[in-house]
Amino acid sequence: MTDLTTLTATELLDGYRKGGFSPVEATRAALDRAERIQPEVNAFVRILADEASAQAQASRERWRRGEPAGPLDGVPVTVKDILLLKGHPTLRGSKSVDPSGSWDEDAPAVARLREAGAVFVGKTTTPEYGWKGVTDSPLTGVTRNPHDPSRTAGGSSGGSAAAVALGAGPLSLGTDGGGSVRIPAAFCGIFALKPTYGRVPLYPASAFGTLAHVGPMTRDAADAALLLDVIGVPDSRDWSALGPADGSFRAGLDRGVRGLRVAYSPSLGGQVAVRPGVAAAVRRAVERLAELGAYVEEADPDFTDPVDAFHTLWFAGAAQVTRRLGADRRESLDPGLREICAEGARYTALDYLTAVDVRMELGRRMGRFHDTYDLLLTPTLPITAFEAGVEVPAGSGHRRWTGWTPFTYPFNLTQQPAATVPVGTDDDGLPVGLQIVAARHRDDLVLRAGHALRGRP
């Protein structure tokens, strides 16, 4: 019999349509997997077994009548515990959030999933307020890598990445303010897309401002396109949301990469030291795109590391999100979060606006870069997953998580679409990701290239 936890959303929907199995069976399989992995991997804040089962039964009846509610009817999904899910507390990985209250609203992307008939399996783990590139918090503890539980799943959408990788639902909603869907997806060996800023509405607004994106975390680009079609529509609660997309993101997936102009930057012009196993796996994937007809050349975008500007915006956002906490609740925060909040509170308005100037110049440079190149390829990360429970790898010399994520956060500053695609493993059997970046509003090109690499790790 088919193991339903190994199927993509596209494959599940095809099975429902043909009557090979039902949403009840698929949901039961996802819930069983979630319960089984939770003790070792710790991907979930809560598993919604009764609610998901009821939703799946209702979906089964709709499919029996030939009247599915929408394009994801009966598909098991998970939601990072940064995004509101009606009827359940959204604790954001923090003891400082009061779980009491009505919790009577869905975030925009969650609302679109509900309208499309998706089945909510559970809420997934996050570091406190999504502040860092690994997933551990004072509230929920450490989330571990599905390939080696002694190592981190990455973050901040680490629970979502682990859940998808291990079959607890093929689709998940993550958030990405500096790499937070791409980092854990690369560490866990799945696909993830940070769409163009505003493509997926966000409410409540993030304290990290226009750095923060909502994005699909899936097994492949086809499922990401399917999910983006559902969630990438306007919502009046987000004043910065884009208008409707020009057609379906699934429509052009099979057009391939022939004729696309592709820049491959293995180290951002020598600025990043990339481990040999990562570099080799990424280069093989780049060569595969060339074999498929892309015009590939090594070329580096014209910018130096914007980490200081990113820190100013990120740390100030962290200070803002925690500024109303009393002394007792502030004391319960992750010590690293307390540190960056204190630093962020010391910045002046001029410091912040100087960082905005750096951001605007970076955006201009990348805009000009994409006048020449359709796509930019880099490693998603220069390393593979390291020990769980720490912010930076032992002996790395880094102080903050941004020290080992230099390929991700620049493209939050520029608001460009960026995806990570699994392209193999290093010598330790740990997943490696290739990052694909395009100009703003060209999410379709990122998805096309990711789809071209399917089945080619």
Residue 438 tokens read as 């395009």
Strand-pairing partners, residue 441, are: none
Give catalytic residues, as residue numbers.
Answer: 80, 156, 180
As a whole number of angstroms, the distance between CA 217 and CA 201 comes to 16
Cα separation, 405 vs 418, whole angstroms: 14
Amino acid present at 400: R
Token pair belonging to 313: 């915006």
Q: Which alpha helices (H) appear in 273-326, and where do they start and end?
A: 276-291, 307-322
Q: Are strands 418-425 and 431-438 parallel, antiparallel or unpaired?
A: antiparallel
CB 396 within 8 A of CB 404: yes
Q: How far apart are CA 130 and CA 36, in angstroms?
A: 25
What are the tokens at 53? 């089962």
Residues linked to residue 124 through DSSP beta bridges, in sequence order: 44, 80
CA–CA distance, 11 with 72 (Å, rounded to integer): 11
Closest by CA to 95, choosing from 163, 133, 141, is 141
Report residue 27 as tokens: 């949901």
Exposure string of 131-152, with b = 16+ CB inside 10 Å and e = fewer, is bbbbbbbbbbebbbbbbbbebb
Pairing mode of beta strands 295-298, 213-218: unpaired
| Token code pair at residue 159 | 């629970």
